[in-house]
Amino acid sequence: MRLKTALFISKYFPAFIFTLLIQVPVFAQVGGISTFEFVNLPVNTRMVGLGGVNVSSQQLDASMFSANPALLTDSIDQYLALNHYSYNAGVKNNQLNYARKLSAKGMWGIAIQQLSYGEFDSYDLTGLYQGTFNANDFSVGISHARMSGPFSIGGTVKFVQSTIETYQASGMLFTIGGAFIHPEQDLKVGLVLQNFGFAFSQYTDEQSFEMPFDAILGATFKPKMMPLRFSVTAHHLTEFLNIAYDDPNTKSEVDAFGEEIDNKISFADKLSRHFVFGGEFVFSKNLNLRLAYNFLQRRELQVEQRKGLAGFSYGLMIRLKRFELSYSRAVQHISGGTNIFSLAIDTKSLIKRRRVIE
């Protein structure tokens, strides 16, 4: 039965993906287009430490099924993960994940995300102060995944809501993920079609919606005799070679002969912006160091006069018996970066220990 299922997946799943991709509209830039863009933010230290985009690295991390529901496997049964991401200007992003095997037919997971933008001063058209208002985003998702041999297939249904003062928008988003998990080697390959769906309500009656859809492909591999786990991820595949921002305010440069220099973005530059490279230095099963490079963030957020470490991220993981503490930092600009802290708990071990003591 498992063999037949695996053959069915390998035969028809690529065709399904291709059919879906060709029906998705393509845009020239990736920012400021879609509603509910907050769902594409990295939600845990592993993702941030590995470049902000990853669909193939798990390693007992109960938060990763938010990126790829196919990573919801038996290894994280009854794991709880708490994540706190501190952005610039006091913006806070919090997420809770919990995974549980409720039957022999697969794993279930729940993810709750809350993003707070803080308080803003309100003024009327004449400039008269009207007090303050809040802005925040919220989502709750249910995920389910099943294994068939080395393949895992999962899906997520997510309710999303965004509020700005008295204006509110809500909708339902869906994600489909697949993963190949090698039975013997430390090798995972993930493919995700994320965040396609529909809106229940809009901020205003005149507004039209575009969902934050994306297709992501990634692989993670650790050679047996090397203390390094590699990850490479390709994102925005529905907008292939079309995500480079052509700044109309860029001043033209001239050479020594007064001729204008062609500043067109090269093919190699356009291609590289789709990739994120990350690595984990595995000192032991209880201590990992993470480092990554995001080409798109590097190119879009750097300052030409002083590029600094924009696009780089790094992190540290320490596991203490049933608890895992981790920290990551992403550098977006020469002025600084953002920090995220995560706590993962193996609740199954805690419950067993409590029963033994009793």
> What's the pLDDT tens digit per position in 143-154?
999 999 999 999
pLDDT at 14 over 90: no
- d(Cα 258, Cα 15) in Å, to the nearest integer? 53
Q: What pLDDT does residue 356 have?
A: 47
| Mean pLDDT, the chain, integer | 85
Whether the per-residue pLDDT at 118 is higher than 80: the answer is yes
Distances 283 to 112, 291, 317 between C-alpha atoms, Å? 32, 14, 10
What is the mean pLDDT of the segment spanning 93-113? Answer: 92
State yes or no: pLDDT of 72 exceeds 90: yes
Structure tokens that stand for 274 in this block? 């789709």
d(CA 188, CA 220): 5
Find the mean pLDDT for residues 260-284: 87
pLDDT at 80: 95
Determine the Cα angle at 174 with ends 218 and 117, to 5°. Answer: 90
Mean pLDDT check: name the lowest of 183-192, 256-265, 300-309. 256-265
Q: In the numeric block, which tokens belong to residue 345?
A: 């708990």
Q: Place 24 in a pLDDT band, splitting at 50, 70 and 90.
A: very low
pLDDT at 2 over 50: no
Phi, psi of 269 (to 5 degrees): -65, -45
- State the pLDDT confidence band at 256, using cuts at 50, 70 and 90: low
| Cβ-count burial 123-146 (b if 16+ within 10 Å, e if not) | eeeeeeeeeeeebbbbbebebbbb
Q: How confident is the model at residue 353 (pLDDT cuts 50, 70, 90)?
A: low
Residue 280 has pLDDT above 50, yes or no: yes
Mean pLDDT of 183-194: 95
pTM for the full model? 0.83
Q: Residue 61 pLDDT > 70, yes or no?
A: yes
Higher pLDDT, 245 or 312: 312
Mean pLDDT check: name the lowest of 68-82, 246-260, 263-277: 246-260
Give 332 or 195, the one with higher predicted confidence. 195
User: Is 267 a residue whose pLDDT tops 90?
Assistant: no
- Is residue 257 pLDDT above 70, yes or no? no
User: When comparing pLDDT for 171 and 305, which is higher?
Assistant: 171
User: What would the pLDDT profile of 195-247 be if each residue is shown by its tens digit?
Assistant: 999 989 888 877 677 888 999 999 999 998 899 999 999 999 988 888 887 66
Mean pLDDT across the stretch 54-70?
92
| Model confidence at 354: pLDDT above 70 | no
In the predicted model, what is the mean pLDDT of residues 99-106?
87
pLDDT digits (tens, 9 = 90+) for 77-94: 999 999 999 888 888 999
Burial class from Cβ neighbours inside 10 Å (0-12, 13-18, 19+) for residue 230 reads middle
For residue 225, the model assigns a pLDDT of 87
